[in-house]
Structure 1
Amino acid sequence: MAAAIVLDQPGNVSYTNLDQISGKVVVRCGKSIDVESIVVKVEGESRTRLLAPPGPSGERAKPQLEYHKILYKTQVVFPRPDILEGSWTTSKNSFTLPPGNHEYPFSVKLPFNNSCASDKSQMGTMSISGSGIEVSKPPQTHVKKTLPPTLSGFPGEAEIRYFVKATVRRSSFWKENPRAYAPFNFFPIEPPRPSPSGNEIYARQKHAFAAFPEGQSAAKAKMKSIFSKSKEPPLTSATSNEAPSISVDARLPESSILTCNDDIPLRLIVKKLNDSDAVVNLQSLEVSLIGQTKIRAHDLHTTESNSWVIVSRSNMGMPIGTASDSAGTENAIADNLWRGQTLPNTIAPSFETCNISRKYQLDVRIGLSYSGAMQSSAKPQTIILPLRLDVTVFSGIAPPSQLLEAMAQARVNKPKPTINTTTALDEKLKVEKGKRNSMTVPETPMEGPSRDLPARQGTAVPPQPPVYDDAPPSYEDAIATDLPPVNVPRPNYAPPPPTEDDVLLSDEKKGLRGRRDS
């Protein structure tokens, strides 16, 4: 007997939230086989493995493994109701499949949120590496967020993968259960974008070039000052050109959101800070996206850095502004230098899950040169100014309007939380009062006019839950139960192909993991 999974949308198609991942399980029998059931599972896993530093004596600690089942959906495709009513049964708990090929369709809807927090059966997992058998402890911390994207590129350390697995359960305990395995890429729906405010965030660098001696090169002036015996007065402003002083801004629209497979809405502004008549040239430009991946395995933490070069230009020699520009003049660098250079399709959107998170920074390096009025044989001054901005990368798959309307309606209908102003001291007094017996002398009331007592120190109103303008940080699956799949253009997402990592996880196709797999 052999089993295989055929997806309706194979290849590099990326699924997203609310999609129906569908296909069929193909079972090929060479002879009549007794089968209990055929179960399809749509699963997502987030695994990390970190090594602790060596101890004082150089001993190596055991690696820490953390495993989260972020998605787990099952569907029984055999036996179907019509078979249950038929006469194929050979015993109470098994059914006979005749020789030949048998196809069983399936369709599972992908939710919004990860499900590991609600999975009470989380257990340790076991994997086999070169150093022996490694067992992970059950995770203690969970984060309820939108399902993270497929992530690879950290072999032996971290991985997020999604797959469909089919298991043919045999009636005999001594016979192997055939399994089939089909991975797929997942690309989440982005959160609602804030309304544009018209403001910008920026990173700024200032630089003042040094003045060149007038009428001779800097090298000749240096040689003359070293070997000349006569003492000459230093150069004054009347005998030298005033060097330019500038500031450079890298600006993004407020909220600093970049979109996968889309242009970067970047603006580069060069501002003249003095009245120098010199012209500064744009010599080089490099724009990169820096990804910081935080990986946690129980008590161990590490951060891995990746970079993607979006634009890299050099030897441009483009003048910025004119010599007649006055102090305070701002000149924008032509955006055709980076327009059309989209983010690579290997970049995952920003995300946070239980043991892995990803954040980004936009790194801009601008090379400027100044030649002054010196001779052509002299070397111009060149400076590279680094600018870095914290950014958030969105997937580019916009949430459907029906979902936003349903979430807005749910917030309106949600009952307001009651404010409990009872403090710990009040609770203690209440308990002590209940313990008093009948022999306790009652308190003597105070005579005289009543007066307001000052508020007891330490009494505070509990903080209210945050109110979100657009949507909570994670979509609710219950709200989107009846919504259809998202029908919008989707960016192409092609993460590095995952490898069968025997160190990080066992072979899914053979079902060697140490948790529920029956």
Structure 2
Amino acid sequence: MSIRIALDNPPEFYTNLDFISGRVILVLHRPETIGNVIVKLEGESHTALTVPSTGDRDDLYRGRIPGGGGVGDIITESHKILYRLFQVYPDDGAALAFQPGTHEFKFNFKVPLNNICHDPKAMSALLGIGGLSGSGFRTMDGSKQLMLQHVKGTLPPSLTGFPQEAEIRYYIKVTIQRPGFFKENWRYQVGFKFLPVEPPRPAKTSQEAFARRPFTFRPQAALHQKKSSFFGSRSSTASPSSGAGGTPPSIEMSARLPFPSILTCNEPLPLRLIARKLAPTEQQHVYLTALEIVLVGHTQVRVHNLENTERSTWILFSAPQLSPPIQLFNSPTDPVDAEFEIPKTLWKDRRLPNTVAPSFRTCNLARTYGLEIMLTLTWAPSSSPSSLKPNSPSITLPLKLSKVDVYSGIRPPQELLNSVSTQNSRPPRLPNRPPQQPPRPGPGVNVQPPAPDPLYPPQLGTVGATMYEEAPPSYDEAMADQLAGPAARPAYSGVTAENAPSTMPAEKS
């Protein structure tokens, strides 16, 4: 016996609204009776953290860890962010005997937009009666999902690279049930990479997010020599003087990104580096001699009430020694507040690595990004780069943009964007008002109709009050069934192979 899953024209990775189709190929060497052939589309987000010791007073008030975990124990949390079923055999529920040979079963899934674990109705439906579905096969233990904290959002990307701590994986699993008390079910699975579509991009504006830092070089020291003693020995002392190197330059460096700050996977940085003159000087010969641009990712890992943040870095551009160095400003006579933009040719061809996952937030994992720029500036006495010496005054400035979003670069279909914008343009519904019983009037008292409430205008009436009773539809509700996944998509490799063994510790039941 052998089982294999063959996908139809599998891409490098799948995304939302994609159709995943294929065949389950079963090769039998002897007759077998098969009850059900179930194919599942699953996505799981696993996290694991070690319970720390109570080292301070705040830890003493930490809530009790579920499962009674003590100091040093590994606590795990798992979320079923995607769960779809497809029963490929049989149609009528009858178990039949299969003869030796090759048998194929076709399946077809459509990847949704949002995760499923936030929906208690969906989790309860997966339970079925007694943990079994109507077909008699076990789906999943949805009761565990109901006990966890959930976040509704777009399905997160595949994520690995944090052994024994965090990972997000997607699978296609097949279960072949064999009737009989002592017969074991056959199972097989294959993993696939997933990269979500990006959210609707905000309209472009002329605004910019920036990080800036002013600085002033220290005055260069002038050397004064004095004759002393009978033997003609000389002693030298150094004292600050503006006459040797001129008035020290005073400059402000800033890093700017379009606002909102959005970077795109496999696309260049829309970064601008600008120098601004703060004070008049006689000699304003300042050179950019080194530059480094680093993308910093912060992965927030949560297990119940334990949290940890992992820091990852990707070097986008690194030049420890620019050759030739770049002179800031065109002339020392430039007026105050004059600006000089560092040429973008240094990093215009540097794209985000294909191992960078887009920003996301799911139930127990989140990824945010920032950008760090390190600039080394050197003050020279003349406008010739040859005047730069190893002992020339220099300064290294850090510039940090802490709130940067990374998008996948997979634009959602225009039909979906139009549908979402239409739903967002609906007027907000009024909150439900609990009914109030009017007081019973005494005998001989005339009952006056209640005054109209300005919050509930009478022109809405009964029909208008129930018109917006339901919340606006989600992405899944807004999209059409025939809407296909995006065609254009960038390269994405993830960190490890999608079929590599899991590195997460076993979950305690």
Please classify the TM superposition score into its range, dividing by the shorter chain length. 0.7 to 0.9
What letter matches 1:168 in structure 2?
I
CA gap 1:235/1:102 in 2 versus in 1, 3 angstroms:
closer
Matching residue of 2:393: 381
Q: Paired residue for 1:148, among 131, 152, 156?
A: 156
Name the residue aligned to 1:96. 97
Contact 2:220 2:241 in 1 (8 A): no
Counterpart contact for 1:398–1:488, Cα < 8 Å: no
**Aligned-partner residue type, residue 86 of structure 2:** Q
Aligned partner of 1:109 in structure 2 is 110
What is the alpha-carbon distance in structure 2 between the residues aligned to residue 315 and residue 38 of structure 1? 63
Q: Which string of whole-angstrom CA distances, capped at 9 and with x for unpartnered residues, describes residues 368-397 of structure 1?
A: 111336987771112111111120000000
Q: Is the counterpart of residue 394 in structure 1 residue 401 in structure 2?
A: no
Unaligned stretches of 5+ residues in structure 2: 61-69, 128-143, 446-470
Whole-angstrom distance in 2 between the partners of 1:475 and 1:392: 22
In structure 1, the partner of 2:19 is 20
Report how far residue 164 of structure 1 moved: 0.2
Question: 1: distance between equivalents of 2:301 and 2:71?
Answer: 20
Equivalent of 2:83, from 65, 72, 77? 72
1:476-503: CA deviation from partner (whole Å, max 9, x where unpaired): 2111142422343211111111542364
Partner of 1:281: 287
Contact 1:263 1:340 in 2 (8 A): yes
Summarize the alignment of residues 19-168 of structure 1 with structure 2, pairs less than 5 Å apart.
19-55=18-54, 60-80=71-91, 84=92, 93-118=94-119, 119-121=122-124, 139-168=147-176
Structure with greater contact order relative to length (CA < 8 Å, sep ≥ 6): 1
**Counterpart residue number, 1:410:** 423
Aligned counterparts of 1:397 and 1:117: Cα–Cα separation in 2: 24
* Aligned counterparts of 1:252 and 1:378: Cα–Cα separation in 2: 33
Deviations 1:127-158 (A, max 9, x none): xxxxxxxxx88642111100000011111111
- Equivalent position SS for 1:493: coil
CA distance in 2, matches of 1:77, 1:230: 92
Paired residue secondary structure (2:476): coil
Paired residue type of 1:7: L
Distance in 1, Cα, partners of 2:191 & 2:491? 17
1:418-429 alignment, distance < 5 Å: 418-419=430-431
Aligned residues: 441
In the other structure, the counterpart of 2:481 is 482
The aligned residue for residue 185 of structure 2 is 177
The equivalent position to 2:341 in structure 1, one of 332, 341, 352, is 332
- Aligned-partner Cα distance in 2 for 1:230–1:101: 95
- What is the alpha-carbon distance in structure 2 between the residues aligned to residue 281 and residue 190 of structure 1? 40
User: What's the offset of the Cα at 1:195?
Assistant: 0.7
Provide the rounded CA distance (Å) in 2 between the counterparts of 1:5 and 1:474.
35
Q: Are the aligned partners of 1:151 and 1:348 in contact in 2 as well (CA < 8 Å)? A: yes
* Amino acid of the structure 2 residue aligned with 1:405: N
Residues 225 and 235, structure 2, Cα contact 8 Å, conserved in 1: no
Compared with structure 1, are the counterparts of its residues 441 and 49 closer, same or farther at alpha carbon in structure 2 (3 Å cutoff)? farther
Structure-2 change in CA distance of 1:36 and 1:239 (3 Å): closer
The CA deviation at 1:505 is 4.5
Per the alignment, do residues 476 and 176 of structure 1 end up closer, same or farther by CA in structure 2, a change over 3 Å counting? same
Q: Distance in 2 between matches of 1:441 and 1:475?
A: 54
Q: Is the 8 A contact 2:166 2:504 kept in 1?
A: no
For normalisation by structure 1, the TM-score amounts to 0.77
Change (3 A) 1:420 1:364: same
CA separation of 1:235 and 1:415: change in aligned 2, threshold 3 A? closer
Correspondence for 2:363: 354
Question: In percent, how many aligned pairs have the same letter?
Answer: 36
Q: Any conservation in 1 of the 2:285–2:332 contact (CA below 8 Å)? A: yes
Post-superposition offset of 1:199:
1.2
- Look up the equivalent residue of 2:258 and give its one-letter code: P
Give the superposition deviation at 1:327.
2.0
Whether the 8 Å contact between 1:146 and 1:474 is mirrored in structure 2 is: no
Per-residue deviation, 1:406: 1.6
CA distance in 2, matches of 1:300, 1:289: 26
Tell me the CA shift for residue 71 of structure 1.
0.3
Name the structure 2 match of 1:254: 259
1:365 maps to amino acid: M
**Contact 2:219–2:241, Cα closer than 8 Å, also in 1:** no
Residues of 2 paired with 1:229 and 1:264: CA distance? 54
Question: 1:465 is matched with which residue?
Answer: none
The answer to whether the 8 A contact 2:163-2:503 is kept is no
Find the residue that maps to 1:120 and give its secondary structure: helix
Deviations 1:76-98 (A, max 9, x none): 11124xxx5xxxxxxx8411111
**Cα 1:480–1:246, aligned 2, differ >3 Å: closer, same or farther?**
same
SS of structure 2 residue aligned to 1:193: coil
- Amino acid aligned to 2:24: V
Alpha-carbon spacing, 1:94–1:391, altered in 2? closer, same or farther (3 Å): same
Letter in 1 for 2:172: V
1:16/1:337 CA distance change after superposition, 3 Å: same
The gaps in structure 1 that reach 5 residues or longer are 85-91, 124-135, 444-471, 507-512
Return the letter of the residue paired with 1:255: P
Q: Closer, same or farther in 2 for the Cα pair 1:350/1:292, shift >3 Å?
A: same
User: What amino acid maps onto 1:342 in structure 2?
Assistant: R
Matched, 1:314 2:320: yes
Query: Secondary structure at the residue paired with 1:164?
Result: strand
Work out the CA distance in 1 between the residues paired with 2:225 and 2:173. 77
Alignment partner for residue 298 of structure 1, among 301, 304, 308? 304
